[in-house]
Structure 1
Amino acid sequence: MNTRLLRHIGFWAAYLLLMGYLSGRYDMRFGVAYFSELLQLPAKIGATYLVFYWLETRPGESLLRLGLRILAVLCIAVLANRLLMYVYLHPAFYAEHYGMVFWHFDRILFTFIDVGTPVAAATAIKMSRFRQASRLREQQLVQEKLQSELKFLRAQTNPHFLFNTLNSTYALARREAPRTAEALMRLSKLLRFILYDCARPQIPLSDEAKVIHDLIELEKLRYGDRLQVTYEEQIDDPSQPIAPLLLLPFVENAFKHGASETRFGTHIAIRLSLENGRLHFEVCNDKEPDEAGAETEGLGLHNVQRQLELLYPGAYELKIEAGQKEFCVHLFISVDGGR
């Protein structure tokens, strides 16, 4: 038996003992008083739990309407108790002492108070426990907020440490290996963009174009003469807002499956245009003939497709062309229609 059920049984047992004792003091017939209270208890229990679990405040409901519903439940419980008293308890135990009029105002008011007392007492206990739980939950939320703030501060510290380390390595590489220094510088720009600029909901299209250019130059340093990249850009409004990291994954996917998985020289063509709020982004790369569907199954492309669905619903078109020797992605976005 769980603790909650024991608490409820204990409450009603204590209520029965108290009310039976108070009723029996009038004529010292405690047996009759306890029996009478026991028979009236189901109506009181029913009214109490209806108020507890069925008559809770509904969304948008006024307190007046809630109060009327509670009053209706109490009236039904009072009527049930009056019928029990009129039909059975009074004829059996009290008829010789006093008469009974069913619609007697004073007796109805007394019965209403009698039924309403356990409802009020139980509700007060429940509200007290609810307030205590709410206070505990509030303390937990404050603690969680402090922990989140601490994690955020630590997350800010880690990138600073990383950039300081990259800057130190860059200074050393300038003296020892100029090409390594250039790679570190471009890598630092990419990391700064991903960690800081991408925290904003939108960035200028020119910023996304710059990071694409940095990635291209970084990959050129890696693959050397084996990689040829054609990049074309025609943007009529460089300040046009766009969701960050929306175009970069397509370029990264081209290098991953075009340059790194091709045994010979490879060519990647990238075209970015924006005209009158209509963006067109195209990425094509050479591929090995036996690379069946690998590029379309990457996690990066799936993530970008999901972002497009969330950020530009009904305002984008994504075409993927997977040929035998070439893989192309065409993305069209009405950037003015995004969220």
Structure 2
Amino acid sequence: MKSRIYRHLAFWIVYIIHSSLLEYTWIKPLLPEIGQGEVVLEAIRVTLILLPVKLVLTYSLLYLFVEKALKIQRFSLLNVVGITLSFLVAIVINRILFYWFIFPLIAKYQGNSFQLFDLYGMIVGFIDMGFSSGIALALKLLRTQIQSLKKEKALVKDRLETELKFLKNQINPHFLFNTLNNIYALSRKKSEHTPLIVVKLSKLLRFMLYESEKKNIKIGDEIKILKDYLELEKIRFNNRLNIIFTEDVDHADEQITPLILLPFVENAFKHGPGESIAEAYIKIQIVLKNRKLRFIVENSKEETQDAFSEHIGLRNVKRQLDLIYPDSELKVINQKDIFRIELQINFQSNEHL
């Protein structure tokens, strides 16, 4: 409330100064014989005489008509009539003030006679009244528009954050479901590696619980979780799968959204060797140079395996990329015996989002 009062006071102080300067330029030629200081005082006096009617007109327009029109987002006939009558009354009062208070100030220096309601005077009165209320109205509309844009931006941000949380909550159970299937398969075989997989899974789940809710993490931590996942899958597939993992990172502290890369690797295992009984391979390459990330995942597959767009995890991570890194590029190469994704993210161009 205080800031609102200060804004209004500042507006009218600036207006009084501006209007006094205009009145000075009008009065000075009419009173060439008096001193400049007295002309300045007369200009300020004229401005203050007309100020009350301008105040009443301006706040009547703002809070009786315009504010209501903004709420219903249209000007009704009643509003138009009200605004027109307000201006007519203000112009009449303007002419009365001129005739009874302002013209006599000038007449004591000059013997000119003035008419109360002449056409020229009415036009000048309309311009004079309309200027102050028009500027105030324009500032009101501008402020309303800015507040509306801020509110809209906040709503969009909240909606996107809600959608991101929803997508992450979908991806994490998706990963857990796949890993539990792996543990179940090994337990059926009474594999000695089952306890080790459970330990590694608990480590991954701990990461998801405490780190995935963060907005960003170090890319070095994201790579570490990928390696932990690869170790878990190596135990499952044993010698049937050849995993090739290479990394070339010049800045391991670069910030990245947590678990944005894991779904691509998970998909390579699930829909590559996970759906094939033959020997298979997965190649993973991570290159980070000058804040530009290039991430490649390639896996062997059989001709009858599913397409990229049908996998829930990848569908969700694509949506996350659109929301978090809109400038990112994702290429999907789906050939008869090879599936390959190539992801490129320029962290510098996306850091303002």
TM-score, structure 1 length as denominator?
A: 0.49
- Structure with the larger RCO, 1 or 2 (CA within 8 Å, 6+ apart): 2
TM-score, structure 2 length as denominator?
A: 0.47
